[in-house]
A and B are shown apart, each in its own frame.
Chain A
Amino acid sequence: MRFDPDFALSVIPTILSGLGTTLWITVAASLGAAVLGFTLEILRRSNRWLGYVMRFVIDAIRSTPVLVQLYFIYFVLPVYGLTLPAAASGVLGLAVYYSGYLAEVFKGGIDSIDAGQFEAGKALGLRRRDVILSVILPQMLRNVAAPMGNYFVSALKATPYLAVIAVPEMLGLAMEVGANSFRYAEPMVSVGAIFLILALGINVLVRKLEQRLQVAHQR
């Protein structure tokens, strides 16, 4: 069969109706990954034995494919009575996967904070929790803004994986168009073009944000 450009254009509105799903999943997964990643890194630093365990957990997350982690969450958790909707499984899967990478980013961010900051917090009699949340976290976030932004863009680009567990994001809708029309080439090219434009646009946005943060930092 020949590629039909008119059909490719005509399916764009259908695919774009999943844009909202793609975006909220990206935001939810990014936030989840940041919270979980920070928790992993703080636990890793809390004591020696927990440190070894957490380091293995982080490396294990980084050593398995996100697709396999999604399957695991989607098929294994229900056996233990935890049945999540597909979208929630997807968000959880992406959040866990990127938490491994963000924990590593946060490690670097915390390392580059002056040791005097911890000591000053202690000297002022702050509790450990307050030192972590009020002294370390704000300074770390400024240090890691750029790499963290890159992983958020990565999370956006990982949302198509959710199509395999039947989440109606953009690739999922494109597959559905394909299944109904027996034409896969056109919807795939359309969804590819949409994702490329989206990713490039968000890349530019992240760069701008980075520059602004750096300027604010220099002041």
Chain B
Amino acid sequence: MEGFDILAGIFQGFRVTALVTLYGMLWAVPFALVTGVLQHFTRGTARFAVTCLIEFWRSSPVLILLFVLYYALPDFGIRLSSMTVGAMALGLNIGGYGSQAVRAALQSLDPGQVEAGRALGLHRLHILCLIELPQAVAAMMPTFVNQFIQLVKGTAIVSLITLTDMTFRAKQIAELQYNPVGVYTSLMLAYLIVCYPATLFGRYLERRVHIQNRGSREI
């Protein structure tokens, strides 16, 4: 196999990479929103419990989380597929980071927004969903895109629990023939093709948020 063939071979693993990313998002987004909002609203013991939950998923190295879930859960009678375990470990880890972005965005909102909602007689839940969260989500878009890139790149580790993603395919090809330069350069290129547009999009969003902030400060 030469150049383009290797790249095509690696992209046969794209479906798994994309699926793990997708399922990972299904864990990450709800986890980030729920724990971020809870951490913002709770006080005392409840807040401590939420913080512990977030820190467990955020502070453990993601590779270790993956191995612990993969090897230890069956001992406790919980049997999950490699795909589920991979998505869960990656998703909850990224979700832990995301929760901090949600909390920070909620805290940085002008308190006048909530007061205005109260003055209009809205229920607290309505204030959260109709006033606070939409603004918070808009403010955290650049962070969100960066976390998404982290998730896509993170999926490379599922190759270590036998899922045939792009990295796993590359290692298979590397075993068939001795061509480390071709294989690993193509693998780099494959991730670059997938993630580079997202990186550029993240930069664009960051610039836009900065410009917005500058505009509002000058008024």
Q: Name A residues whose Cβ lies closer than 8 Å to a Cβ of B.
A: 1-3, 59-60, 62-69, 71-72, 75-76, 78-79, 157-161, 163-164, 171, 178, 184-186, 188-189, 191-192, 195-196, 199-200, 203
Q: Which of B64, B71, B185, B199 contacts A160 (CB 8 A)?
A: B64
B30 at interface (Cβ–Cβ under 8 A)? no
Whether A185 contacts B71 by the Cβ 8 Å rule is yes
Whether B75 contacts A76 by the Cβ 8 Å rule is no
Whether B196 contacts A185 by the Cβ 8 Å rule is no
Complex Cα–Cα for A191 and B218 (A): 52
Which chain B residues (132-171) contact chain A, with CB distance < 8 Å? 149, 153-157, 159-160, 167, 170
Whether A65 contacts B191 by the Cβ 8 Å rule is yes
Whether B61 contacts A157 by the Cβ 8 Å rule is yes
Q: Which of B59, B76, B157, B195 contacts A203 (CB 8 A)?
A: B59
What are the nearest 6 A-B pairs in CB distance?
Answer: A63-B195, A65-B156, A184-B71, A65-B153, A3-B75, A185-B72
Contact (A64, B64) CB under 8 Å given A1-B75, A189-B72: no
List of B residues within 8 angstroms of A65 by Cβ: 153-157, 167, 191
Residues of B in contact (CB 8 Å), total 41
Complex Cα–Cα for A191 and B71 (A): 12
What's the least CB distance linking B121 to chain A, in Å?
41
Whether A188 contacts B71 by the Cβ 8 Å rule is yes
Complex Cα–Cα for A159 and B61 (A): 9
Whether B60 contacts A195 by the Cβ 8 Å rule is yes
Whether A60 contacts B196 by the Cβ 8 Å rule is yes
Which chain B residues (63-116) contact chain A, with CB distance < 8 Å? 63-65, 67-68, 71-72, 74-76
Whether B65 contacts A192 by the Cβ 8 Å rule is yes
Whether A68 contacts B64 by the Cβ 8 Å rule is no
List of A residues within 8 angstroms of B176 by Cβ: none
Complex Cα–Cα for A71 and B55 (A): 30
Whether B75 contacts A192 by the Cβ 8 Å rule is no
Whether A64 contacts B59 by the Cβ 8 Å rule is no
Q: Which of A2, A75, A171 contacts B64 (CB 8 A)?
A: A171
What's the least CB distance linking A65 to chain B, in Å?
4
Q: What are 27 A-to-B residue pairs whose CB atoms are below 8 Å?
A: A59-B196, A59-B200, A59-B203, A62-B149, A63-B198, A64-B191, A65-B167, A68-B191, A71-B167, A71-B170, A72-B187, A76-B180, A76-B184, A76-B185, A78-B180, A160-B63, A161-B157, A163-B63, A178-B71, A185-B71, A188-B72, A189-B72, A195-B61, A196-B59, A199-B59, A199-B60, A203-B59
Complex Cα–Cα for A64 and B60 (A): 21
Whether B68 contacts A189 by the Cβ 8 Å rule is yes
List of B residues within 8 angstroms of A192 by Cβ: 60, 64-65, 67-68
Chain A proximity mask over B170-202: 1 for CB below 8 Å, otherwise 0: 100010000011001101100110011011100
Whether B153 contacts A64 by the Cβ 8 Å rule is yes
List of A residues within 8 angstroms of B62 by Cβ: 157
